[in-house]
A = this chain, B = another copy of it.
């Protein structure tokens, strides 16, 4: 049979990973697809740059629109990343009737609704497995396998950089900046690490996971996003002492009241699988009403794991060439006109447990004042650590874990405790999830 010709936009890490994979596994891929698949054209900004892949046999250009307008090419693989340029190219590809495969979480999270609407209008598909958790087939699992479930919640470690930093802080006793420096030295963090350490990348992925889990439109601007740059070495240590690891989680949850979309550092009990996902690895736990807890673990980034996800999409799309749209999986698992308008809840409305750390003056009555405030707000204390003061310090740290309460109550408690004269500086608040229900 005639080979399927792919047009590749972007020859960076993932683009080259995909080219290499097609070279290496081409025979098996043909044994699977029943026909050869080749990259016939590729676009890169700077054609003179040396590459990590063999581009012989591929017609290169620095004008992506030439590929998008090539009638021989039915499938465009967008691997340039970023928001706006990628969006313009993808929309142009769709308008030209091309199927699109992308690894671009930022673009899907921000412009996915427009992209899917245009794709539906043109009768083509958009596949984006590589956009969430790299090589872990989490999109397919949720969108195609868990379809008989009401998915009630999911929680994911979906940013390897942040997970690496937290793991280093725990295992090596480093502080945030030291761990970040190490991550940058090893190439796990970029020169500007904001997207990774402030949770923006995780929020992109959460946006996508929530859409396919709950059958809602992409709502990136509704995600509560808190990074890990304020996590102190001492918080990691106190959490460990109390039997918890601190993980940076992307959490989606649905109830009758609405939907929670939140990215924040989270204490997780040591015995949970999620607490044992270390280094740059990713994992997503999904709770369905029928299946219960399922978990998916693997490499969340890197040329080869991401190319692995892209290749899964390539085979799916190639297999569907020539079939009617009705035979394809809908973009978000649900028919586009069947998405739910369930409201996204404000953070004040969520319910969770909390870790609190505060410095208080080492004087009588302080603990009574603090616990009195909690009692008035009906907040029960699950565990409490009072440390001895350091020499030459007139303050002492208090660490508490609370039971589950509304965030609104916790905000009020933090406000009142902050006004106590004995409480010095800012109170650290980290959320805590048990995942046992």
Contacts and interface: CB of A to CB of B under 8 A. Distances in A.
Given A147-B312, A295-B297, A304-B291, A32 B335 contact: yes
Contacts of A320: 327
A292 interface: yes
A148 interface: yes
A327 B335 contact: no
Nearest to A288: B308
Contacts of A290: 17, 21, 25, 135, 304-305, 307-308, 311
B28 A150 contact: yes
Nearest to A34: B335
Given A309-B145, A312-B145, A215 B31 contact: yes
Contacts of A312: 144-148
A144 to B, nearest CB: 6
A315 B148 CA distance: 9
Interface in A141-155: 141, 144-150
Contact of A315 (B21, B147, B323): B147
A125 to B, nearest CB: 12
A242 to B, nearest CB: 20
A338 interface: yes
- Of the four ranges (under 10, 10 to 19, 20 to 34, 35 or more), the interface on chain A belongs to 35 or more
Interface string A321-355: 01110111110011100100000000000000000
B333 A327 contact: no
Interface in A286-301: 288-299
A328 B319 contact: yes
Contacts of A323: 323-324, 327
A148 B293 contact: no
Nearest to A278: B271
A215 B31 CA distance: 9
B299 A296 contact: no
Interface string A132-175: 00111100110011111110000000000000000000000000
Contacts of A91: none
A24 B288 CA distance: 13
B141 A141 contact: yes
Nearest to A297: B295
Contact of A145 (B137, B150, B291, B322): B137
A25 B150 contact: yes
B141 A292 contact: no
B326 A147 contact: no
A372 to B, nearest CB: 41
Interface of A: 17, 21, 24-25, 28-29, 31-32, 34, 129, 134-137, 140-141, 144-150, 215, 273, 276-277, 288-299, 304-305, 307-312, 314-316, 319-320, 322-324, 326-330, 333-335, 338
25 contacts: A28-B334, A31-B334, A31-B335, A32-B147, A32-B334, A135-B290, A135-B292, A140-B144, A140-B145, A144-B315, A145-B308, A145-B309, A146-B308, A147-B311, A148-B307, A148-B310, A149-B308, A273-B273, A290-B308, A291-B299, A291-B304, A291-B308, A291-B309, A292-B298, A295-B297
Given A291-B299, A293-B298, 5 more contacts: A25-B290, A29-B148, A31-B335, A134-B291, A147-B311
